[in-house]
Copies of this chain bind each other. A is one copy, B any other.
Amino acid sequence: MQAGKPILYSYFRSSCSWRVRIALALKSIDYETIPINLIKDGGQQFSEEFQALNPMKQVPALKIDGITIGQSLAIIEYLEETRPTPRLLPRDPKKRAHVRMISDLIAGGIQPLQNLSVLKQVGQENQLTWAQKAITSGFNALEQILQSTAGRYCVGDEVSMADLCLVPQVANAERLSRHPWSPISEALLSIWLSPEPPPPNSDKPDLLHKNQKCV
């Protein structure tokens, strides 16, 4: 059922696309990127061609193994089930629950409230206050949870889907909110940015190049 190289529809500044890019990199999956510019031409995600592919008119979407999957966490879970090495969910069900709780907190509780389409709807005058409220409230909760789950990474000492959500969300937060990071977020981020060896069986991707070009 392998139908050629996977194709990722992605935008360089989309934090949800970024989660998937990290997963693909960590799992050393070779793929092609088709950039969907969310700003240019009024938003290329609104084109008929792209809507047919992802009715949510959002990136990322991944064409893989003959299907197209939208929603970043659904994509990462599929990659995990079909390309399990290195794993992005721990073996222990309780730790997996923590990973998914943190991932869902970011993907459902922070990101949707400060994404491009919502900020447009809020209007230019109010959007910074709006974004800051979502980010501050979300990160306050997140950091309280990390106090009890984190080791070297968000949950214990293994990189997981939760870290793939945290890093792009922190970049968003820095851009939109200048949230004062607590020591735990600082520590977790410094690991991603450090020149230390990557975790076993994985390549550390180029995670926080803020000035990255459009993919």
- Which residues of A approach B to under 8 Å, CB–CB? 55-58, 65-67, 69-75, 77-78, 81-82, 93-94, 96-98, 100-101, 103-105, 107-109, 111-113, 118, 121, 130, 133, 138, 140-142, 144-145
Contact between B112 and A108 (Cβ–Cβ < 8 Å)? yes
Contact between A96 and B108 (Cβ–Cβ < 8 Å)? no
If A65-B94, A81-B96, A112-B112 touch, does A71 touch B133 (CB 8 Å cutoff)?
Answer: no
Q: How far is the CB of A42 from chain B (nearest CB, A)?
A: 16
Q: Which of B67, B73, B104 is within 8 Å of A94, CB to CB?
A: B67
Number of copies: 2
Beyond the given pairs A73-B108, A78-B97, A113-B118, 20 more chain A to chain B contacts, judged by CB atoms under 8 angstroms and listed by A's residue number, are A55-B144, A65-B94, A67-B98, A69-B97, A69-B101, A71-B101, A71-B104, A74-B104, A77-B96, A77-B100, A78-B93, A78-B96, A82-B93, A104-B108, A107-B108, A108-B108, A108-B112, A109-B112, A112-B112, A112-B113
The 5 closest A-B pairs by CB, nearest first: A74-B100, A55-B141, A71-B104, A55-B144, A78-B97
- A161–B166 CA distance with the chains assembled, in angstroms: 25
Contact between A56 and B105 (Cβ–Cβ < 8 Å)? yes
Q: How far is the CB of A15 from chain B (nearest CB, A)?
A: 12
Q: Which of B58, B70, B82, B100 is within 8 Å of A73, CB to CB?
A: B100
- A69–B100 CA distance with the chains assembled, in angstroms: 9
Contacts of A107 in B (CB 8 A): 104, 108
Q: How far is the CB of A71 from chain B (nearest CB, A)?
A: 4
List 13 interface pairs A-B (beta carbons < 8 Å), by A numbering.
A55-B141, A69-B97, A69-B98, A70-B105, A70-B145, A71-B104, A71-B109, A74-B104, A75-B97, A81-B96, A108-B112, A109-B112, A112-B113
